[in-house]
Structure formats: structure tokens, C-alpha cells
Structure 1
Amino acid sequence: MPTMSLPTLRLPKPVLRKQHYPENPSEPIEGLSHPSEIEARHRAGRLAESVSGVVSRASPDDSPVMGNFDDIGLLNGTEARDYAAATGAAKSEDDADQSGLKFRQRVEADADRLDPEEIRSGAATPVAYDLEFVPPAPTNYHGDWSEIVTDKLKRERNEREQRPRKEHKRKPSKTAQQKVEQLQIKKHIAEIISRHKYMVKLCRALMEFGAPTHRLEAYMAMSARVLAIEGQFLYLPGCMIISFDDTHTHTTEVKIVRVPQGVDLGKLRDVHEIYKLVVHDLIGVDEAMSRLDAVVTRKHKFNKWIRVVTYGLAAVCVAPFAFQGRWIDMPIAFVMGCIVGLMQLIMAPSSELYANVFETSAALLMSFLGRMFGSIQYKGENLFCFSALAQASIALILPGYMVLCGSLELQSHNMIAGSVRMVYAMIYTLFLGYGITIGAVLYGLMDKNATSSTSCSNPLNSYWDLLFVPLFTLCLCVINQAKYKQLPVMLTISFAGYVVNSYTNKSLNSSTISNTLGALTIGVLANLYSRLSRPAENFWLRLKLRKVNQDLEKGIAKANEDPETTARRVGYGLAAAAMLPAIFVQVPSGLASGGSLVSGVTSADAITGNKTAAASTTGASDLNTGAFTVLLSVIQVAISISVGLGLAALLVYPFGKRRSGLFSF
């Protein structure tokens, strides 16, 4: 059979590897354990079948069969002895060895001439497998060689299954660990940022809705302690400086919260409840922020026009019990009170320029109108009371609350805020005093017979005060946006404080002591309400729940009675909101007892040259005397009230409150 002539192509030499064969065919082959080698053995078997086809067609006179293997390029990295033994081309082992030596020499000489691309498919062409060396069966073995390999694999598999397996926990990769750490850091930072946002929103709400200013720093510090935040707080009137510290990164974040101070008793109660729930770990920061946003964005309970009318009703109610007003003075007082409400609620917010002169203009106008109506005579007597009209109309813009907050801040050793607020209250009071005096002077220039009386004749019976005090308190609740469920407590505390103040003033004839005792009564009742309201409310709920359960057992329960919905509530009484209307009642009473608001009428008479019985002093310096008399009276009343409130807090909370701040004045 002629050999094939192939083009010359340089290829790497095939590597002939030696293997160790077991002498006993039944022994397993050393190193044969992977199932892929079985597949390689099957490929070698199919190759041997293709080679056997070539041998069967070869002529006996041709060169040895091994030469044909070289020509067709089948011996790639395997021993010639293996293929000779597998195909039966060698009659004995010696012949196979001799043929293998000759064949090895020919392979080494002609390997470079092999070109796989020139090989054409045919009967002698092997299947294009990726051949790997697999130890063939020994020459003297005539059984199924795969059985030995399969048995060995089965034994090894059984041994592996019988071995005790070690539990290895999968360790996360470095990338996974970094991702987890990054997520934890982001989550931690997000939690800290949300806590900071809650603190800022809480501070803004407390300042906007009229929380006790001398305890704002304590409220913020206790909230920061519960939320595990390092913070420092500095309160100034209308401004809170918040510093969030981080000792790990040595960084500090400073926030400045500027809010105009106002009073909203209903929203203050809601904010106080949210503050308590967070301090006692009953709700999270995210839920607290959503609730605060809902409270802040909620509309006012009473609109501006209702409050303007309420200003007039408040002037009508305060005139009889505080300034000796009479029935005939009430219509004029209503009109003048509505004018003040219109100026404060409508005109001042709409014009920044007018807001700067609101106090002076309101006092000037009310003094002018009051003296004008008071100078009207009927049958030789004044028809209206000048002092009642002038004082009742401006009772709601008196700086008593402002001076009270300043004195409480100074009393609690908050020198910066207390000093700033006290000085501002003094200047504010001087504006009112100058306005009252100038208004009286202006009308005195127009009417030489203007009245100068600082008291009213034929006042109402003092028993009418028991009616007008609760009505005035109700008007204050409407003006300050109180909730309906807060009204009973506010009316009760205000009425009790006024009764004590009025009785002690008549008995001791001292406005300072009477104001102190009245404030002490108000503080004790409000703090007791704050401390006992939740147990009392839950006590009544338990009684109601017991009755509902009894009705259910008897089968007479109503359809709307459900014991599951009647559960214990987490309610906290707010002492600050409960006592604030009562304090507003104390301030006009204290000022009226001193008679300081209309004391500038004597100065007005001296300036205009009107000689009246009340004008006992002369000179231009009396203009200053009237203003400073109002200032001195307001400061005395505020200090008396602050001392009484401080003693009340000490009596009810002798050891203070450890976990949350005392929400009381």
C-alpha cells in the first residue's frame, strides 16, 4: 500500500509518556480516579476500532502496519506498543517492542511533515476527539477493562460518602464583606441623619407653639440622650443654636433654628404627646417626624376673623372683673377690642413697616378713643368709663406673658435668654405707656373738658365676676387655638386662681402677695393635672371596660360598645397649656389693682394745661413718669407670678423628673 505524501509543516513533537501497568489485570490502575478518564478511555476505544479498519484492508506485502499509523497521523503523544496491543497488529510482546522502536524513530523523524489540514475524512480517518492518554488494558487481559475502572470508582465514591464530613461555613468573599460593611455604614449614617432631622423639627415646633422657654434646652437635651445623640443647645429668644458632635470622626454640625415665638395650645399638646412617646421609646423617629409634619401643616382650629370677633368679646368680659366696667361700657369695649384684633391679626402680619409701630399705635388709638367716649356726659355725669374702655381694649396686648417668660428664665439661671427677653419686654412696655399718654394728650388738646378720671363710678357687683372670669378664659382659649377637650381643665384652673387672687387682695390689700398666691394655686393645680391625668383617665377607662364586659356577659351590650377598642391610652396632661389662660387672667387683674395703665392721664393734663383734681403734678417730665409706672407695674406682676409658679413646681415635683422634662411654667 503506497504511503501518502504530505506537505511539510512544523508541529511540536508528540510527548510519549510512560505509565505503570498493574501485573494483575484485576488490580485497579494507579492514579485513575476521575470520571473524565473513563470518557477518554471510550474515545481511545473508538479510535482503535477505526484503526482496525485500516489494518484489515492493508496488504500483507506492505510495510508494517505501524508505518501506516505514522502516515495518517494517529499517534499523537501515545506509545506505539499500546496501539499495537490494542489492535492486535503485533503477534507477541517482543514483536510489539521491536515494531515500537522502529516506529518511534520514524515518528521522531517524520513528525514535522504531518499536516492535519491535509487529512481527509474516510474509513481510516479517526474521529476528531481531543485525545488524552488513558492507560489501555494489558495485552494478556481479555475481559472488560471498564469493569475494573468502574469498580474502583464505586469503591472510592463509597469511601467518600462514609467519611465524616466536616461542616464548613461559607465565608463571604472580601467583596461581599465590603458591601455588607458599606450597607451598615450607610444605614447607620441614615439613622443618625434622621435623628438630627427629628431634633430640629421638634425644636422648631416647641418654639413655634409656645412651650416654656426656660426649659427648652432641657427638653432637647433629654431627647438627645434618649436618641443617643451628642448635642449641645443654646437658646436665645426666637433662636435655638444646636450643635451635633461626633467624637469618632471629630466633626461637628451646627444648626440654627429661627422661629417667631407664638402660642397654639392645641398643637402644643400634640407636640408634647409626640415628645413623650419618643422619650419613652413607644414610637420611632420616622413615625415621630411624620406626626410632627402633620401637626405643623395642619390648619388652625379658628380662623383669623373668628379670632378678631373674639378679641371684642374678650374686651367685654375683662372690663367688669378687672377694670370696673359697667353694662353700658360693654358695646364700646367690644368695638374697640375688635379694632385691636384687626390691627394685630390682619394689619400687622401684612405690613412689616406697620408691625414695627403696632404697639404704640394701638395704645395711642385706644387711649384716644377711650378718653373721647369717656368725656361724653349725660345729665352732668360721664356716660362711659374712660379707664375701663382704655384698659380693657389693650388687655390682650399687654406684655405680661413676655415678662413672665423672662423672669422665669432668669430664675432658672438662664442669664442670656432671660436678660434679652426682659430688656425687650421693658422697651415694649414703654411703648405702651408712651402710646397711652400720647393718646390722652392728643384728645386733651382737642377737648379742654376731657375727663381725667382713673376709676369708674357705680361698678357691677363683684358676684358678676364669677360669670365673666370663665367667659374671658374661654375667649383666651379660642384666641390661642385650644382644643375643646382642654377647655374644662383650663376653665377650672383659671377660676380657682382668680378666686384666690381676689380674696387675698381684699383681705391683705397687697397686689404682690395676692398675685403670688394666685400663681401658686394655678401652678399646683396644673402640675397635679399633669401628674395625675393619665392614671385618672385609665381608671375611668377600666371602670367603663368592666361595665362593658358585664353587659356582654348578660347579653345586653349595645352595638357600639366594643371592649377591644376601649383600651388604655398613653395620655399625658400638659401643665403648660392648662395654666397659660389662667396666667393671662392674672396679669390684667394685677395691673388694674395698681391702676398704672391710665396713670399717664395726670401727665397728659399737666402737658395740655388742663387743671383737674387728678393732676397733682406738673412738668414735662411726667410724660416719662407715666411710661415707667406701667413698666414697674408689669415687672412686679410678672415677678410675683414667676415666684408662685416656681414654688408650685417644687411642691408637686420635689425631686424633679428624671426621664423627661417638666412641661410647666
Structure 2
Amino acid sequence: MKHKPTTANGKPEGPPEFRRINSDLEGGNVMLRSYSKKLGPLSKLSSIFSSNSLTPSTPRKGSDATLVGDDSGEQDKYTSFKRNQTRRRLSLKSGIPSVPVLSVLQGARQPSVIIKHLEDIQIRQKFLLKLSKALLSFGAPSHRISSQLAAAAEILGAEAEFVHLPNIIIASMKSSPNSPSARTYFVRATGAVALTSLHQVHIVYRDVLHDKIGAEEGTKALRKLLREHPIYPLYFRCILAFFGASTICATSFGGSFLDIWISGFCACVLQYLGLNAAHKSAMYANVYEISVSIIVAFVARALSNIPGNWFCYSAISSAGVVLILPGFTILVSALELMSKNLFCGSVRIVYAVIYTLFLGFGLTIGSDFYLVVDRRARKAYYVNSTPTNLTYTHGRFVMANGSIPFIPIQGVLGQANALNYEQQHLVKGCFRDPSWQWFRQPFPWWTLLLLVPLYSTLSSLGNLQRVRSVQLPVMVLFSCCSYAANKGASVVLPGRTDIVSAVGAFVIGLLGNLYSRVIGGTAFTSMVTGVLYLVPSGIAQGGGVTQTYRSSADQYSSGFSLALRMISVASGVTIGLFVSQLLVYLFGTRKNAAHFAF
């Protein structure tokens, strides 16, 4: 080493000499090439700093930087010095320069880089595979899964490619950047939305990518989440289904005080069969939805034919099967199609349409089965559709619509009002006589101030959100704001379920993305409750799940009309969510990790 003149206290004169010596990273089995590749912006900044602040002396290629000629350089972890009123630090242990952000770069977002928790490539690959399974198991937005995994692989320095299929993720990973071959992994998992677990997965994902914890610790946390049982037992989830269906019957389907208890009981039985019988028996799981819809329609038709019109068939049957409506599946498929994920989007939307047809046909079969058993009810059902108080006219008539021109018809023509007394007092498909008691009338409008937050809370708890959590009031607040916007748009634009749903989705998308960007919460979990509320609300505005049919043609088309209404609602929700996301992320810095929202 070249000696310099020293001062009285033994310290060398002038600035410390800058050289390159052998790196301790090379002895630690850490590839210097791949590491410097990940620290491109920091390495460039440190090289500029070194050339301006220090005097390099014949560096050797492929080694790290250190300071020589200073006695304290071997004991201290960092060496600091001051130049141009700026204090700078240089790491001596790891060879990685630690340079503070200059004043001209303050406020700029630096890319995420793993510096503290450097781990082996196999550990990072295990974290990516475990993350894939957790996202599939807890109902993450499928159109975001590939981008999330790709962002995680890039930041962790693991060269990997991901292909997402329904319930399957195919991962191709290399053991090293120069390896000519790659290993392929298949990750398969099925599950429903679990809001608390999904929020915890997002926290682990964010901590690993922000270098707060290592990949091995993140893998252990994800493995623990996957092994945990649902946070609520079976009986409590059935109780949540009972009160949730009762509330949605009153708010969206015009049910009375008597109707809500029957619809809640049907939903409770449905939830029990789905979580217990269908889970244990694979054979019954194939016919679970059809059998449940037949039972609900049979019970609703039987109660609606009690003399006196005490119960409403449309309200009970619609609210009774609202838990198994594939609204979330159709919404996700529409989002995937908008994201240009054609394969998954096409498969999901075809499955959801066929599933809806099965559900509609099951409701029709259950209703007709009771009408076959009770002939009195069948006769009364079709007699009520016959117009009364006809005005008869005798003579010869000529068709004016051009179908049979200039051919007179002789006979008797009966004219009557198209709507009878029962049809004039229909409220969302239910006959409500103004002279009836309060418990046979629909709920007044001011009860929505209590019922909408109640249903939002029950829906969040039904999707496995913990009661004692900060996210629960946020979900309820966003859901209420979305419902208010949806209700206001339905008054201005009646009959346009797509535009009305788009307005509600725009509001909740705006709130959810702002909550994620400004406060740092999880956008997806805060928006799920409100988005799921838009689907039954939009279907109710289009006529409900079940519609009254009077002929075989109407009976056949009732299942198709339900599927078309659900697609219309999902399309509107998709447009609203994407527009709100565009407005929120149009300005400001770019996210380093993938966007975890709809």
C-alpha cells in the first residue's frame, strides 16, 4: 500500500485514498453479477458520487469499493465524511455504498431493491410458489395474480415466468440466470374469498418486497395462514347467512316482515348444505346448486299460494338463493376480458352463464313441481293472468299492422285494461294491497339507513373478515357510499342496470384506490363487500332473480334473462372499476409492486 505523509496525530494527510480490494461477497457464495444487476440505479449513483468525491487508485475489475489509508476503516461498519455541506456514508462490510438521496432527488420514488435480506435462490422460489397457492386459496383477484407474481419475481431476483389458468398456476423457474434449463411447477388450489387471510397475505407480500422481512420468514407466514382453519365455525356462518338473506330480502327484493324470515331460513339451509354436505360428498357437490334452487322455489311457491297472499314468491326465492349467485365469478371474468386475459375470461364467463341457466331452470322446476302437486294453486295461478271486465265489440276488423293486410276478420273483440288490480299494486314483483297491515308491506325507505350498514357488516363477516379489525368499518363505509350512489343513479336512470351499476362501481373504486394509495390499506379487501352488494342490487332493479311467466316460451326464457341481467350488471361494474383506477393512478409516482385491487 502506498504511504502518505502523516500529521502529528498519525492520521494521513488529504482525503482518504479510494481503491478496490477483493469483495467479501465473493467469499460468501453471493453472485456479484446478479447482485449488481439488481442495484443498477444505486450503483450508477454511487459511481457518480465516487468520481466526484474521491480519487480512485487503479481499481481491479470485479471487486467492491472500500477505503484504505484510514485507521478507523477496519473497525467501523460505515465510514462517513463531509463534502460540499453533504455528509456521505460508504459501507465497508458488505461493499455496498450507502448514499443518501440528494436534494435534487428528494421526493422521487426509488425502485424496490432487496438489500438486507439476501437469501438463496431456492428460498426465494419457495416463497413465490407458496405465494401462488395463497392467492388462489383465499380468492385474490385472478386478473392481478400474474402481475403480482411477476413483480415479486423481478424484485426478488428470481427469473421466473407464470401462466395463470382457472385454479392452476404454472411457474417456470431457473436456478441461475445463466442456466440453460428451467424447472416447471404446477400450483393447484381452490377456495373462496377470505378477507382477513387475504389481507394478511398482502401484508406479507408487501413486507417481503419492501425488504422488511426475508423470503424464508415470508414463506413460514404464508404456510401458517394456509394451515389455519376458518376463523368462524359452521353454526356462526349459518347464522350470518340467515340474517344476511333476511336483510337483502328487505332492501333489494321488496320483501315484507313476514318474507324476510322465510328467505333467511332458506339461506341458512343453503349455507349448511354447501359447507357441510357438499364439502364432504363430491357426488352431491355436483348437484348442490340445482337441488338447493329446487327446494327454495318449492317452499316459496307453496307459501305464496296460501289464501290471502301472506307471502311473496319473488322476494323469498330471490333472497333465498342470493348466496349462490355467480355474480363474483361473472365480475372477475369481465375484469379478465378487459385485462386482455382472453383464455381465463372466456372460460369463466361461459361457466358462469351455464351455471346461471342451471340456477334459473332449477327455480322454474321447483315452482312447477308444486303447481303439479297442488292443482288448485295451478288453476289460480293461470286464472289470475286472465283479464277481467272486458268490453265486447261485434263487427268486422282489418289488421292495421301489415301482417295480414286487407283481410277482414269478423267476430267479437274484447277490450280490457292491460293491468288488473293486482298488477297495479306490484312492488318489485310482489302484490302489496295498500289496505294491508304494516308487517305485510315493504319496508319504508328510511329503514335503509339501518339495513344497508347491517347487510354490509354481515356480508363482510360472511366473507371471513374479523370483527375486531380496522378494515371492517372501512368496508362498511365504502359499501354504504356505493349503495347510495347506485340508488341515486337508479332514480335518475330507471331500467338501465348497466349504467347504474357503473356509477356505484366508480364510487367504490375511487374510494378503495384512494384508501390504498393515501393511507396504505389493501384496496381489494376494502372493496369486495361493496362490489358484491352491487350484483344483487342490479339484478333486483332488472326484475329480480325470478320473474313471473305465463306461457311455455316465458318459462324457457326466464333462465336466459337472468344470465343476461347478470352479464349486464357485471359489465357496468367492470367499466366503473377500471375508470376509477385510471383516475386515481393517473398522477403521482408509479407503484413498484403489482396493484392489489379489482
Q: How many Å apart are 1:299 and its aligned residue?
A: 3.0
What is the match of residue 441 of structure 1? Answer: 368
Counterpart of 2:523 (choices 554, 558, 575) is 575
Whether the 8 Å CA contact 1:266–1:481 is kept in 2: the answer is yes
Summarize deviations over 1:623-653 as a string: whole Å, max 9, x none: 4311111110110011111111111111111
**Are residues 1:495 and 2:424 paired?**
no
- What is the percentage of aligned positions where both structures have the same residue? 34
**Are residues 1:233 and 2:192 paired?**
no
Give the secondary structure class of the aligned counterpart of 2:120.
Answer: helix
Counterpart of 1:371 (choices 286, 297, 301) is 301
What is the match of residue 455 of structure 1? Answer: 430
What is the match of residue 49 of structure 1? Answer: none
What is the match of residue 334 of structure 2? Answer: 407
**Are residues 1:284 and 2:214 paired?**
yes
State the distance in 1 between where 2:590 and 2:556 align.
Answer: 46
Q: How many Å apart are 1:334 and its aligned residue?
A: 2.1
Whether the 8 Å CA contact 1:596–1:633 is kept in 2: the answer is no
What is the match of residue 288 of structure 2? Answer: 358
Summarize deviations over 1:336-391 as a string: whole Å, max 9, x none: 111111111111101101110111111111111111111112xxx30111111101
Whether the 8 Å CA contact 2:497–2:568 is kept in 1: the answer is no
**Are residues 1:586 and 2:534 paired?**
yes
Whether the 8 Å CA contact 1:518–1:586 is kept in 2: the answer is yes
Whether the 8 Å CA contact 2:119–2:214 is kept in 1: the answer is no
State the distance in 2 between where 1:183 and 1:464 align.
Answer: 67
- Mapping of 1:604-643 within 5 angstroms? 615=550, 618-619=551-552, 621-643=553-575
Counterpart of 1:518 (choices 482, 500, 504) is 504
State the distance in 2 between where 1:392 and 1:466 align.
Answer: 20
State the distance in 2 between where 1:184 and 1:582 align.
Answer: 48
Whether the 8 Å CA contact 1:308–1:345 is kept in 2: the answer is no
Q: Please say which structure displays the higher CA radius of gyration.
A: 1
Q: Which has the higher helix share?
A: 1
Residue identity matched to 1:659: N
What is the match of residue 325 of structure 1? Answer: 255
Q: Which has the higher strand share?
A: 2
Q: How many Å apart are 1:456 and its aligned residue?
A: 4.2
Residue identity matched to 2:196: G
Summarize deviations over 1:465-503 as a string: whole Å, max 9, x none: 221111111111111111232210011000011011011
Quote the RMSD (CA, aligned, Å): 2.2
Whether the 8 Å CA contact 1:224–1:231 is kept in 2: the answer is yes
Whether the 8 Å CA contact 1:520–1:647 is kept in 2: the answer is yes
Q: How many Å apart are 1:575 and its aligned residue?
A: 0.8
Q: 1:261 to 1:300 in 2, by over 3 A?
A: closer
What is the match of residue 480 of structure 1? Answer: 463
Q: How many Å apart are 1:190 and its aligned residue?
A: 7.7
Q: How many Å apart are 1:422 and its aligned residue?
A: 0.8
Give the secondary structure class of the aligned counterpart of 2:170.
Answer: strand
Q: How many Å apart are 1:455 and its aligned residue?
A: 2.4
Q: 1:279 to 1:434 in 2, by over 3 A?
A: same
Q: 1:190 to 1:464 in 2, by over 3 A?
A: closer
Whether the 8 Å CA contact 1:388–1:456 is kept in 2: the answer is no
- Mapping of 1:230-309 within 5 angstroms? 230-245=159-174, 246-309=176-239
What is the match of residue 595 of structure 2? Answer: 662
Tell me, which stretches of 5 or more residues in structure 2 are unaligned?
Answer: 1-25, 36-117, 382-425, 433-440
Give the secondary structure class of the aligned counterpart of 1:343.
Answer: helix
State the distance in 2 between where 1:466 and 1:323 align.
Answer: 16
Summarize deviations over 1:105-145 as a string: whole Å, max 9, x none: xxxxxxxxxxxxxxxxxxxxxxxxxxxxxxxxxxxxxxxxx
Moved more, 453-462 or 334-343: 453-462
TM-score by length of 1: 0.62
**Number of residue pairs matched?**
429
Whether the 8 Å CA contact 1:315–1:337 is kept in 2: the answer is yes
Residue identity matched to 1:265: L
Give the secondary structure class of the aligned counterpart of 2:211.
Answer: coil
Summarize deviations over 1:510-534 as a string: whole Å, max 9, x none: 222111100100110111111122x
Q: How many Å apart are 1:418 and its aligned residue?
A: 0.6
Q: 1:343 to 1:182 in 2, by over 3 A?
A: same
Give the secondary structure class of the aligned counterpart of 1:382.
Answer: coil
Whether the 8 Å CA contact 2:137–2:190 is kept in 1: the answer is yes
- Mapping of 1:179-198 within 5 angstroms? 191-198=120-127
What is the match of residue 417 of structure 1? Answer: 344
TM-score by length of 2: 0.69
